[in-house]
Amino acid sequence: MRGFAPAEFKARLAAAQAGMAEAGLGAILLTTEPEFRYFSGFLTRFWESPSRPWFLILPSQGDPVAVIPSIGAALMQSTWVRDIRTWAAPDPRDEGVSLLVAALREIGGPVGLPSGPESSLRMSLADFERVKRGSGLGFRDDAGLTARLRAIKSEAEIDKIRNSCAVAGRSFARVPEIAREGVPLAQVFRDFQRLLLEEGADFVSYLAGGAGPEGYGDVISPATERPLAKGDVLMLDTGAVCDGYFCDFDRNFAVGPPSAVTAEAHARLIEATAAGLGAARPGARACDVFAAMAAITGGGEEAGRLGHGLGLQLTEGLSLSPRDETVLAEGMVITLEPGIETGPGRIMVHEENIVIRAGEAERLSPFAGPEIVVL
């Protein structure tokens, strides 16, 4: 099934409204894609265009109000949102400001805005000032409410992430079809995205990776035209999307027989992942799961963390780092992403996806074994 039943959105709204009552908010104003989609079901790639702002207001009582460009009206009518107000955007003279101001005045404040870690406001600062002035309402942070709600996934959401993981799992199994000595990394990147689409991804929002002797320099660089060489470790890390939900995991491959360093590093990463899996239980803190993995890899926090939340975005919510004391709870979907240094400026990183359950966490990605796959 695509999307969610209206009951799911009603439950999300009810939870938000309970939190709003506690936080003393009259409304929450959402401007960014994941929050907007979480409460409305509005799914489109059109957010790629920065030209138009989109606004969703959650009132403290009653149903959401969408204040959106007219180009989105037809799609919005297919969601559960009924109160849809549109303007002919882009309009540099009034980019939805007066319509938004009127809706906010009708609903009343104070208005909560996601303002904490990872948040941003997807509208121009100039228009934000106009909205604050025009509405005469108080604006403040949403007390972390939307982030906390999104962190606990429903079973319907978990099903979608599990599906994205399965798509990527089948694609990783086919990497030997496309990658071997002599193939340029950029070609591998293009072909791997093709495999993800063939296996059922709606789109491939993220692909990163690297290749080099016994490891790679980083995990965010675009691919170069350098051909794979014997002794390389190839890593592919993907955020494929099905029905709006991401997976985010990777696989390492040895180009030709792996060196002892490579084989040992890979086995160590798998061991660290298993330790993370064991530690990732309700009541444990994010930093505890970090510690369980770091004890085996000896640090490896080059990326700033050894895992993170996952769902409507490639990364969202908590970080498995010494600095994050978020307490894990059932329904949280996270990645386990240990890294290890294999030489000067060389690393290997492994990543899997899990959901926190009452006992041991459930594996969402098909966990890799300790032996690195040889191409």
Checking 14-21 for CB contacts under 8 A at 24+ apart, the result is 15/149, 16/58, 16/145, 16/146, 16/149, 17/58, 17/60, 17/61, 19/143, 19/145, 19/148, 19/149, 20/58, 20/60, 20/112, 20/145, 21/60
Q: 107: how many CB neighbours lie within 10 A of its CB?
A: 20
Binds a copy of itself by CB under 8 A, chosen from 194, 229, 360, 371 = 194
Q: How far apart are the first and last CA of the chain?
A: 37
Q: Which is nearer to a copy of itself, 274 or 303 (CB)?
A: 303
For a copy of itself, the closer of residues 49 and 154 by Cβ is 49
Q: What minimum distance in Å lies between the beta carbon of 257 and a copy of itself?
A: 27
Q: Which of 185, 207, 361, 368 binds a copy of itself (CB under 8 A)?
A: 207
Tell me which stretch binds a copy of itself (CB under 8 A): 193-201, 227-235, 268-276, 329-337.
193-201
Contacting residues for 181 by C-beta, under 8 A, at least 6 apart: 227, 228, 229, 230, 255, 256, 375
**Nearer Cβ to a copy of itself, position 160 or 308?**
308
Q: Is 1 in the site for a copy of itself (CB under 8 A)?
A: no
Q: Is 201 one of the binding residues for a copy of itself (CB under 8 A)? A: yes
Residues 212 and 93: their CA atoms lie apart, in Å, by 52
CA distances from 127 to 27, 35, 90, 132 (A): 19, 20, 13, 9
**Which amino acid, residue 276?**
G
367 binds a copy of itself, rule: CB under 8 A: no
Closest distance to a copy of itself from the beta carbon of 21 (Å) = 22
Min dist. Cβ of residue 48 to a copy of itself (A): 5
Q: Which span (4-12, 130-138, 188-196, 258-266) binds a copy of itself, by CB under 8 A?
A: 188-196
Q: Which of 49, 62, 82, 154 binds a copy of itself (CB under 8 A)?
A: 49
Q: Does 141 bind a copy of itself (CB under 8 A)?
A: yes
Q: Is 350 in the site for a copy of itself (CB under 8 A)?
A: no
- From 11, 99, 102, 121, residue interacting with a copy of itself (rule: CB under 8 A): 121
The SS3 assignment for 64 reads coil
Q: Is the dihedral of CA 73, 74, 79, 82 positive or negative?
A: positive
> Does 135 help bind a copy of itself (rule: CB under 8 A)?
no
Q: Of 210 and 258, which has the nearer Cβ to a copy of itself?
A: 210
Tokens of 149: 């709600």
Local structure of residue 279 (DSSP, 8 states): H
* Separation of alpha carbons 355 and 237, rounded Å: 19
Of 14 and 73, nearer to a copy of itself (C-beta) is 73
Residues 240 to 299 in contact with a copy of itself, rule: CB under 8 A: none
- What's the min distance (Å) between Cβ of 142 and a copy of itself? 10
Of the candidate residues 315, 335, 353, 365, the single one contacting a copy of itself (CB under 8 A): 315
Mapping DSSP to helix (H, G, I), strand (E, B) and coil, where does residue 193 land?
Answer: helix
Q: List residues bridging with 200 in a β-sheet.
A: none
Give 258 or 311: the residue with its C-beta nearer to a copy of itself. Answer: 311
Residue type, 238: T
Contacts of residue 203, defined as CB under 8 A and 6 or more positions apart, other chains included, come to 45, 197, 240, 241
Question: Among the candidate windows 4-12, 104-112, 174-182, 315-323, which touches a copy of itself by CB under 8 A?
Answer: 315-323
* Residues within window 84-113 making contact with a copy of itself, judged by CB under 8 A: 88-93, 95, 113
Choice from 8, 26, 44, 231 touching a copy of itself (CB under 8 A): 44
Nearer to a copy of itself, 11 or 183 (CB): 183
